[in-house]
Amino acid sequence: MTDQDSLALLFEQHRPRLRRIAERMLGSASESDDAVQDVWLRASAAGVDDVQNIGGWLTTITSRACLNILRARAARGEIPLDDDGGDPVVEPEPRTPDPLTQAQREDAISAALTAVHERLSPAERVAFVLHDSFDVPFEQIAELLERSPEAVRQLASRARRRMRSADVAGTRPARERRPVVDAFFAAARAGDFDRLVALLSPEVELRIDQGLSATSLVRGSASVASRALMFAIPDAVLEPVLIDGLPGVVVLVGGRAVSVMAFDVDGDRIAAIDAFAGPARVAELTLPTR
């Protein structure tokens, strides 16, 4: 058996996964087949003599091929080209009730997810799909995108918020999840640790983005509740907003925005919190005019 035959056998073993990666990124079966065929041509031309991890190597080639296709779409105006690192879209929360009926909402879930996925920038889509769907480490994605691992983490985080907002928007509008957010802040101000823990999912994640790659992650209901008590500001004014479609708040102290927080609410508990903290980081965001 020749080296080329051995490579062909290895490639066929990995082809189903490579095609899934391409289809998730591109959303097109025909383009996915073309991308995977291009990967085979590139792989067969390069050879695998110096390759330590064939699966990771083929994943990188596939991702790069998809990234080129996505950037070509962006150049044609088919998808956004904004790869700036993942600042959220902050907008006023509508005061009027959602006009959609429950049946319409259920019918809209799939379409909403697809539409949001199509609006992700090339880098957001690559970071989100590779990390969240295929467990590719941020460090590996960072090499592909030529960014820092922290910048890639932020890209994936923004994509995740957008996808979550589309998912929940089909079944439960933000205004119906707002009471859980309000209860969270009420418990924090009252110093009620047990109530905070009850409002948080046991696996809750708090991601704190302070800019300049200074991002921290807090996991678990007890740890997040302790953090909320530690940084509760009794005289803060909370301005309700939507952040990438999720219920959130702008935290104002003395009329100045000091943090912005988005809440992923699942049922009657908070599953994740994205916080943008500090005047410098908040100043980088576009906030609604008060």
Give the tens place of pLDDT for each residue, 139-148: 999 999 999 9
Domain ranges of the chain: 3-75, 174-283
Would you place residue 83 in the very low, low, confident or very high pLDDT band (cuts 50, 70, 90)? low
Complete edge-to-edge strand list for the sheet that includes strand 90-92: 90-92, 237-243, 246-253, 256-266, 269-277, 200-209, 215-219
- Tell me the average pLDDT of the chain: 83
Give the CATH number of domain 3-75; options: 1.10.1740.10, 3.30.565.10, 3.30.420.40, 3.40.50.2300.
Answer: 1.10.1740.10
| 197 closest CA partner among 273, 262, 270 | 270
Residue pair 275/261 in contact (Cβ under 8 Å)? The answer is: yes
Residue pair 259/251 in contact (Cβ under 8 Å)? The answer is: yes
Residue pair 252/237 in contact (Cβ under 8 Å)? The answer is: yes
Per-residue tokens: 59: 């994943």
| Residues 6 or more apart in contact with residue 144 via CB below 8 angstroms | 60, 63, 64, 67, 126, 130
Per-residue tokens: 202: 């046991």
| Residue 204: count of CB within 10 angstroms of its CB | 23
Q: What phi and psi values does residue 190 have, to the nearest 5 degrees?
A: -85, -5
Rg of the Cα atoms in the chain: 22
Give the tens place of pLDDT for each residue, 233-278: 888 999 999 887 789 999 999 989 999 999 988 889 999 999 999 8
Give the tens place of pLDDT for each residue, 158-207: 888 777 766 555 445 667 789 999 999 999 999 999 999 999 999 998 98
Distances (CA, A) of 195 to 176, 192, 261, 280: 20, 5, 19, 32
Q: What phi and psi values does residue 266 have, to the nearest 5 degrees?
A: -115, 105
Of the chain, the percentage scoring pLDDT greater than 90 comes to 35
Task: Decide if pLDDT at 152 tops 70.
Answer: yes
Per-residue tokens: 79: 């998808």
3-state secondary structure string across 52-95: CCHHHHHHHHHHHHHHHHHHHHHHCCCCCCCCCCCCCCEEECCC
Does the domain at residues 174-283 carry the CATH identifier 3.30.2420.10?
no
> CA 176, CA 129: separation in Å to the nearest integer?
29
215: amino acid identity, one letter: T
pLDDT, residue 4, reads: 76
